[in-house]
């Protein structure tokens, strides 16, 4: 059995109104997003979406009422080869780190 290590998919600083692709799953792999850590910087009422670009569906939403707040998400979202993870900042400025597993297909 191969060793399993976490992969950093994104470490970005995003500002409103952005819709940034942050990671494309390479051919022959499946990505499993496990952790998202965000910091809302400088103002209150910030809104951020983490989504899958092909469908445009957001699966994580951060809505922070206070400034300079750190929030974490843990779960399992699977992305087949070719799919793109993206970050959409509706309001505010955010520091975002996304990590998980990059698994090779048999």
Residue 54 CA to residue 76 CA, distance in Å, equals 18
70 pLDDT above the threshold of 80: yes
44 pLDDT above the threshold of 80: no
Residue 59 CA to residue 50 CA, distance in Å, equals 6
Domain boundaries, the chain: 6-104
| Two structure tokens written together for 32 | 């499993």
Single out the residue of 99, 24, 89 nearest to residue 61, CA to CA.
89
CATH of domain 6-104: 2.60.120.340
Is 1 or 65 the better-scoring residue by pLDDT? 65
């Amino acid at each position: 059995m191969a060793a399993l290590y976490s992969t950093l998919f994104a470490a970005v600083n995003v500002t409103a109104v952005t819709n940034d692709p942050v990671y494309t799953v390479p051919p022959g792999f499946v990505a499993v997003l496990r952790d998202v850590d965000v910091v809302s910087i400088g103002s209150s009422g910030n809104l951020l979406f983490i989504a899958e670009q092909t469908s445009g569906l957001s699966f994580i939403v951060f809505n922070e009422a206070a400034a300079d707040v750190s929030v974490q998400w843990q779960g399992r979202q699977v992305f087949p080869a070719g799919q793109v993870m993206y970050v959409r900042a509706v309001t505010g400025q955010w520091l975002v780190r996304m990590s998980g597993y990059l698994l090779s297909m048999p």
